């Protein structure tokens, strides 16, 4: 067994200010963000101040949208090449961090297309990456994964050791501006990472230890945070839980709930974290039939699978109205069955079982 996490991680309040020298990984930075959150949280301002202090020029690319597309990362690559940027600073939630990772590889390998990212054998270099999360959910600041939306509308992740961020800064003060809805969907994304890591066929003793701490923190502090959004202590607990969950999936990858959730994010507009968490109890029930040892820890924390479902329901995870046509069920099921997530999930899954899971969420 192997535990591998090469990212240098600073965490806690003022961690960027106190360790700003490690932000400098080259001679000119491409700062990758969305339109607003990096500015509103203060993270962008602190990064620019640090770069100015060390006389490091930068270009700011702020066009990253949720579920970044090939076009978005290709535009970032062209800017980086034109401006001769030699390192990436990605600030935001999972979308800017994942886009920054893709841009880092594409810029260092100008002849690659986004499709080539999915074959790690086609490249062996990437620009250095700094990651600064402003949400507590994706854990992308400590993973070798990035997710893009392909031209056919499918979300698909790629993996490379080269896109582990070189340095990450985890400061909870960047997260206190998150509204209730974003707080919920990002936190249950982190919860999904940890629970899927425990259930995965690739779980290890160390990944399970990290997952346990993450799940317990979310179980205790997510309800508190939803009722006190600017409590910095609660925010710090969720931030740590999210990063621990990222460390988990860096070892195990994600499993079936992620694949099920991708379809309703793209086609039904339900945000990624919520779309994934919706399916956790149903997949847990299946795993429990075949490998009950894997659900033991989760049942010990929540009481049982039904109580876990009630926990999610009380948080508002199932507050939606969704229906599927027969054509949608056929499409979603075929896409899920062709995904790599299925083979890493304990249990037996066929098209009938996948359709049943989609039908369940339409009846809640």
Cα dihedral value 75, 77, 82, 83, nearest 10: 110
- Element holding 207 (H helix, E strand): helix 205-226
3-class secondary-structure state, position 350: coil
pLDDT digits (tens, 9 = 90+) for 161-177: 999 999 999 999 999 99
- Element holding 9 (H helix, E strand): strand 8-11
Assign 1 a pLDDT band (cuts: 50, 70, 90).
confident
Average pLDDT over residues 2-25: 96
C-alpha distances in angstroms, 240 versus 11, 54, 90, 249, 291?
8, 29, 19, 15, 29
- Strand order through the sheet with 29-32: 8-11, 167-170, 129-133, 87-92, 29-32, 58-61
C-alpha distances in angstroms, 299 versus 177, 248, 281?
33, 19, 11
CATH class of this structure's domain 8-174: alpha beta
- Model pTM score: 0.96
pLDDT digits (tens, 9 = 90+) for 86-107: 999 999 999 999 999 999 999 9
β pairing state of 58-61 and 29-32: parallel
Cα dihedral value 24, 171, 65, 22, nearest 10: 10
- At 226, list the tokens: 């939803």
Alpha-carbon distance 246 to 193, whole Å?
Answer: 7
- Determine the CATH number of domain 178-362: 1.20.1090.10
Residues whose CB falls within 8 Å of the CB of residue 43, separated by 6 or more in sequence, listed in order: 16, 91, 132, 134, 171, 174
Cβ count near 227 (within 10 Å): 10
The half-sphere exposure of 235 on its side-chain side, counting CA atoms within 13 A, is: 24
Assign 364 a pLDDT band (cuts: 50, 70, 90).
confident
Alpha-carbon distance 347 to 291, whole Å?
Answer: 8
Average pLDDT over residues 117-128: 97
Domain borders along the chain are 8-174, 178-362
pLDDT value of residue 363: 84
3-class secondary-structure state, position 60: strand
Cβ count near 90 (within 10 Å): 33
Give the CA angle between residues 30, 142, 178 to the nearest 5°.
75
pLDDT value of residue 2: 86
């Amino acid at each position: 067994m192997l535990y591998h996490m090469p990212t240098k991680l600073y965490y806690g309040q003022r961690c960027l200010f106190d360790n700003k020298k490690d932000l400098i990984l080259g001679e000119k930075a491409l700062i990758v963000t969305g339109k607003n959150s990096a500015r509103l949280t203060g993270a962008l301002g602190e990064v620019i101040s640090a770069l100015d202090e060390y006389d490091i020029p930068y270009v700011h690319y702020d066009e990253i949208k949720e579920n970044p597309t090939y076009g978005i990362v290709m535009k970032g690559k062209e800017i980086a090449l034109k401006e001769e940027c030699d390192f990436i600073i990605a600030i935001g939630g999972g979308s800017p961090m994942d886009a920054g990772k893709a841009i880092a590889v594409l810029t260092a390998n100008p002849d690659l297309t986004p499709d080539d990212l999915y074959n790690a054998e086609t490249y062996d270099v990437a620009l250095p990456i700094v990651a600064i999360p402003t949400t507590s959910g994706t854990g992308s600041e400590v993973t070798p994964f990035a997710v893009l939306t392909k031209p056919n509308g499918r979300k698909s992740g790629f993996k490379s050791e080269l896109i582990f961020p070189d340095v990450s800064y985890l400061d909870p003060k960047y997260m206190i501006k998150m509204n209730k809805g974003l707080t919920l969907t990002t936190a249950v994304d982190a919860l999904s990472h940890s629970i899927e890591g425990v259930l995965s066929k690739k779980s290890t003793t160390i990944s399970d230890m990290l997952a346990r701490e993450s799940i317990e923190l979310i179980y205790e502090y997510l309800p508190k945070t939803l009722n006190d959004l600017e409590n910095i202590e609660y925010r710090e607990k969720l931030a740590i839980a999210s990063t621990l969950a990222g460390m988990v999936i860096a070892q195990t990858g994600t499993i079936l709930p992620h694949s099920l959730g991708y379809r309703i994010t793209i086609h039904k507009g339900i945000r990624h974290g919520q779309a994934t968490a919706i399916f956790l109890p149903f997949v847990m029930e299946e795993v429990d039939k075949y490998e009950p040892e894997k659900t033991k820890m989760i049942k010990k924390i929540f009481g049982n699978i039904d109580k876990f479902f009630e926990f999610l329901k009380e948080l508002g995870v199932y507050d939606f109205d969704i229906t599927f046509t027969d054509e949608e069920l056929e499409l979603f099921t075929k896409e899920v069955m062709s995904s790599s997530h299925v083979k890493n999930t304990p249990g037996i899954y066929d098209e009938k079982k996948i359709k049943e899971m989609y039908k369940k969420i339409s009846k809640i």
